A and B are shown apart, each in its own frame.
Chain A
């Protein structure tokens, strides 16, 4: 049964256990903060971690639907005994060993026990889902190949009353994150946080960081693990760069979360909502109310030598209409710009995170991604324009440098006729065609880069309708001479050269007419 289960990366259960223990510890810290009658004991950290690890590894490697429930009861019993032992070792307990039920009224026992059960249950849930991900091959069967496509994964494999294991991790991560944020805000607004010692504040901060890091790693690792399982099942080679890409995405998510946490009204960093709004307000006041307060006060300070002037109430005039309009426009600009920046940021995140599935986005995410791409394209074009302009300037003042050409811009290699003797007739016809190209270029009909001789002939025929038949026949002879392996009959060769001469003569006339027109 369980021996077949392999969690890759192997540290995933460990990360999950640490996450559960960190969340439990954070809850304990806040309980101790809000309820001064109980202090978070130091021994509870290892206890929570031990039970998280036990529950996680047990769920991943041992637990099955046939596991007897008595085993779970035994685990709970062990928890009670261990907490009771720690409690008795750190303080005096009034009730004897044989009266353990009396601990049900002791908060020093109840709170650690409740936290341990919470951590134990959370870690167990994560372990169960990790094991279920590993068994995804049983659910998929021979349809695993189709699971690589996004639709199948998200639609077909999702029963109406169940959630995907990956969603399970995401919902818990978001739920715990929201709970932590709410508790943090409440602690700061109520002033409890400020009453904590520096050491306690540091512990709380470290637990938050630990929970966030482990939670994100667990979420990313679970998704990666699911992909690995499916790919191994259908014998698709596992791409090594996937892990790197995934870690990079996690770093971006972490940065995004850090930015969000920073601008939340929690004062974790100097870039807070209050500071930003205060800054904007000061800027607006400065623009519409004239110089700052201090400068105004200095201007209003009377000179000691001059006699005091009786104070007169300044007349409060109505602000002009244009000032109000300007203020509204300014506000619209500020908010529009902020919204724009948010949309571009969202687009960047989407393109970075769901790079391969962009075409499946709908609604606002799609619009954000498209908007970001449009902005990216505009910037690229602008940079190209500037570079081109600079290049032109450089070319005027210096000898131009040869830049390496892109593969499609490369000039075709000079054709040779390896393995085939080129007869005089073929040489003459090819020479005539080259001359034709030069004359046509002189007459304003240059050959284009990707144009075939046939296409060039058609274009030439449109420009010289009187030579249409000659051009058609010459091109047929040229094609045969240039691309077939047959010898060209001498009569055909002579006819082709005569046709070329007539076409060139017609081109000369066109060229002369053009020159005359230019002279006039």
Chain B
């Protein structure tokens, strides 16, 4: 990889973050995390209360990368065919015509995914994992880059179908947006007083370029001690006394890929431990299944990951 290519990824990150910043005030770190997921080819689970800009963030990202955006509002009566698409008989042509569903887009927002039934969730997650959908025996590949941003409300549980741990593991990252600060909220009111700036956003890159960047991220160098650090982190999560099920090898892989993308977004062609630490919370926390008694005590997965990051030695230099 040449210096220029790495710089172009960093510039891409800067431009897209600025672009999104015109719509979403603040939240630059979260925007970078979503870009990390996009460059790593992963999908994002946004867990937050309604009204903090999840949909707008996804729309702004889709516009910035010049991709097609679609939104799926998940409800208990949503069927898999409502997502993947359906073949309809055309009387004029005398044949079945496939009508693609909203999944055939570059940035897909699955709003309140935990309200859909497990069957529908499975079809969506299958498309996320396989990058293709099969309808009536015909397989349709999904266009790359493909990013699913699923949201779920962490407060309400009534009438929901919580994602099982195995399916949560398929999400590359879980990100909390959080409420804006006072100054940020004032800026939002001021900016959206007349019209919504989302209409003014234009694409700052092409989809082909994003696909190339995704491939280039894989070439970012990961030194052996950094790889050791990643593995020690995930292993420590498995043997933590308050964790019932730790991060899987898929979690280790995701953490390495996220660190690579994070390094590339900062203009580096090598990963440093800070990249690992910066991504670990979003990549690992949702993959941990805590013991019920720990949940009762109010311990969170984020707290466990934070503890691991504090205690697991980075191993930069041997201790004297």
Chain A residues within CB distance 8 Å of chain B? 142-143, 145-146, 148-149, 151-152, 351, 355-359, 366, 369-370, 373, 377, 406-419, 430, 433-434, 437-438, 448-455, 479-480, 482-486
Given A407-B235, A415-B317, A485-B221, A453 and B273 touching (CB < 8 A)? yes
Whether the Cβ atoms of A411 and B313 lie closer than 8 Å is: yes
B240 contact set on A, CB distance < 8 A: 408
Bound together, the chains give a CA A358 to CA B293 distance in angstroms of 7
CB distance from B223 to the nearest CB of A (A): 5
* Contact flags B229-241 to A (C-beta < 8 A → 1, else 0): 1001001100110
Roughly how many angstroms separate A410 CA and B314 CA in the complex, as a whole number? 11
B140-148, B172-180, B189-197, B303-311: which lies at the A interface?
A: B303-311
Q: How far is the CA of A430 from the CA of B239 in the complex (A)?
A: 32
B interface residues, how many (CB within 8 angstroms): 46
CA distance A291 to B197 in the complex (A): 90
Q: Of B223, B232, B270, B292, which one neighbours A410 at CB under 8 angstroms?
A: B232
Q: List residues of chain A with CB within 8 A of the CB of B202.
A: none
Please state if B293 and A408 are interface contacts (CB–CB under 8 Å). Answer: no
Q: A375 to chain B: closest CB distance in Å?
A: 12
A433 to B221 alpha-carbon distance, docked (Å): 22
Chain A at the B interface: SS class:
helix
Given known A-B contacts A358-B296, A373-B296, A455 and B274 have beta carbons under 8 A apart: yes
Check if A482 sits within 8 Å of B223, measured CB to CB. Answer: yes
Please tell me if the beta carbons of B223 and A413 are within 8 angstroms of each other in the complex.
no
Asked if B312 lies at the interface with its beta carbon under 8 angstroms from chain A, I say: yes
Contacts of B270 in A (CB 8 A): 479-480, 483-486
In whole Å, how far is B299's beta carbon from the nearest beta carbon of chain A? 11
Residues on A with C-beta less than 8 A from B314 are 412, 450-453
Q: Is B139 on the interface with A (CB-CB < 8 A)? A: no
- A412-B232 in contact (CB<8A): yes
Contact A373 B297 (CB under 8 A): yes
**Contact at A413–B293, with CB atoms within 8 Å?**
no
Q: A-B pairs with the 10 shortest C-beta distances?
A: A412-B315, A484-B270, A452-B273, A412-B313, A408-B236, A415-B225, A358-B292, A454-B274, A450-B310, A414-B318
Which chain A residue shows the least CB distance to B307?
Answer: A408
- Decide: B293 and A373 in contact? CB cutoff 8 A: yes
Asked if B316 and A453 make an inter-chain contact with CB atoms under 8 angstroms apart, the answer reads yes
Instruction: Considering the complex, give the chain B residue whose CB is closest to the CB of A408.
Output: B236
Is B316 within 8 A of A370, CB to CB?
Answer: no
Does the CB pair B232–A438 fall under 8 Å? no
Find chain B residues with CB under 8 A from A415 CB. 224-225, 228, 315-318
Name the interface residues of B54-106: CB closer than 8 Å to any CB of A: none
Instruction: Determine the chain A residues whose CB is within 8 A of the CB of B292 once the complex forms.
Output: 355-359
**Most chain-A CB neighbours within 10 Å: which of B164, B226, B269, B313?**
B313
Chain A residues closer than 8 Å to B313, beta-carbon distance? 410-412, 449-450
Q: Is B162 an interface position by the 8 A CB rule?
A: yes
Whole-angstrom distance between the Cβ of A348 and the nearest chain B Cβ: 12
Quick one: closest B residue to A433, CB to CB?
A: B317
Once the chains bind, are A483 and B308 in contact (CB under 8 Å)? no
Contact check, B162 vs A450: say whether CB atoms are below 8 A apart: no
Q: What are 22 of the A-B contact pairs (CB < 8 Å)?
A: A143-B119, A145-B119, A152-B161, A351-B293, A358-B293, A358-B295, A370-B296, A373-B293, A407-B236, A410-B232, A412-B228, A413-B315, A415-B225, A419-B224, A433-B316, A433-B317, A449-B312, A450-B309, A450-B313, A453-B273, A455-B274, A479-B272
Partner of B239, one of A377, A406, A416, A434: A406
Nearest Cβ on chain B to A350's Cβ, whole angstroms: 10
Kindly provide the distance from the CB of B117 to the nearest chain A CB, expressed in whole angstroms. Answer: 7
A366 to B119, CA, bound (A): 32
Collect the chain A residues with CB atoms within 8 Å of residue B226's CB. Answer: 483
Q: Which of B260-316 contact A (CB under 8 A)?
A: 268-274, 277, 292-293, 295-297, 308-316
Complex: A448 Cα to B310 Cα, angstroms: 8
* Contact status A452-B277, CB under 8 Å: yes
B317 touches A377 (CB 8 A): no
Bound-complex Cα distance A419 to B225 (A): 12
Which of B293, B317, B319 counts the most A-chain CB atoms under 10 A from its CB? Answer: B317
Which residues on B sit within 8 Å (CB–CB) of A369?
296
A30 smallest CB distance to B (angstroms): 43
Given A412-B225, A415-B224, A483-B271, the answer on whether A146 and B316 have CB atoms closer than 8 Å is no
Closest to A448 in B: B310
Task: Establish whether residues B317 and A434, one from each chain, have CB atoms under 8 Å apart when the complex forms.
Answer: yes
* Residues B295 and A359 in contact, CB atoms below 8 Å apart: yes
B311 partner residues in chain A, CB cutoff 8 A? 408-409, 449-450
The distance from the CB of A359 to the nearest CB of chain B, in whole angstroms, is 5
B161 touches A149 (CB 8 A): yes
Chain B residues with CB under 8 A of A417: 224
In whole angstroms, how far apart are the Cα atoms of A373 and B119 in the complex?
Answer: 37
Residue contact A449 to B320, C-beta cutoff 8 Å: no
Chain A residues with CB below 8 A from B239, complex form: 406-408
Instruction: Tell me the bound Cα distance from A373 to B310 in angstroms.
Output: 26
Which of B118, B164, B308, B320 contacts A437 (CB under 8 A)?
B320
A409 proximity list for chain B (CB < 8 A): 311
Min CB gap B282→A, angstroms:
17
Contact call A484/B118, Cβ cutoff below 8 A: no
A472 → chain B, closest Cβ, in Å? Answer: 13
Nearest B-chain residue to A430, judged by Cβ:
B317
> Pick the contact of B297 from A145, A148, A366, A377 — CB < 8 Å?
A377
Residue of B with least CB distance to A412: B315
Chain A residues whose CB sits within 8 angstroms of the CB of B158 once the complex forms: 151
Q: How far is the CA of A154 from the CA of B232 in the complex (A)?
A: 41
B292: nearest residue on chain A (CB-CB)?
Answer: A358
* A143 → B minimal CB distance (Å): 7
Q: Which residues on the B side are within 8 Å of A419 (C-beta)?
A: 224
Q: How far, in whole Å, are A149 and B164 apart by their CA atoms in the complex?
A: 9
| Given known contacts A142-B119, A415-B225, A415-B318, A408 and B272 CB-to-CB distance under 8 angstroms | no
Q: Tell me, rounded to whole Å, the shortest Cβ–Cβ distance linking A403 to chain B.
A: 16
Q: Known contacts being A146-B118, A377-B297, is A411 close to B319, with CB within 8 Å?
A: yes
Could you tell me the distance between the alpha carbons of A356 and B293 in the complex, rounded to whole angstroms? 9
Closest to A142 in B: B119
Per-residue A-contact encoding for B27-57, CB less than 8 Å = 1, 0 else: 0000000000000000000000000000000
Nearest CB of chain A from residue B155's CB, rounded to whole Å: 14
Q: How far is the CB of A428 from chain B (nearest CB, A)?
A: 13
How far, in Å, is A142 (CB) from chain B's closest CB? 6
Which B residues lie within 8 Å of A453 (CB)? 272-273, 314, 316-317
CA distance A437 to B157 in the complex (A): 50
**Residue among B239, B272, B310, B312 with max Cβ neighbours from chain A (10 Å):** B272
Q: How many angstroms from the CA of A408 to the CA of B312 in the assembled complex? A: 5
The reply to whether B315 and A449 form a contact with Cβ atoms under 8 Å apart is: no
Compute how far the CA of A370 lies from the CA of B312 in the bound complex, rounded to whole angstroms: 30
For A373, list chain B residues within 8 Å (CB).
Answer: 293, 296-297
Q: Are B272 and A454 in contact (CB under 8 A)?
A: yes
Determine whether the beta carbon of B320 is less than 8 Å from that of A483: no
Residues on the A chain within 8 Å of B317, using CB:
415, 430, 433-434, 437, 453
**Which B residues are in CB contact (< 8 Å) with A448?**
310
CA distance A355 to B294 in the complex (A): 11
Name the A residues within 8 Å of B236 (CB-CB).
Answer: 407-408
Distance between Cα atoms of A417 and B239 in the complex (Å): 28
Shortest distance between the CB of B301 and any CB in chain A (Å) = 13
Q: Which A-chain residue is minimally distant from B162 (CB atoms)?
A: A149
Given A407-B236, A433-B317: A450 and B118 interface contact (C-beta under 8 Å): no
A449 to B297, CA, bound (A): 26
B268 surroundings in chain A (CB, below 8 A): 484
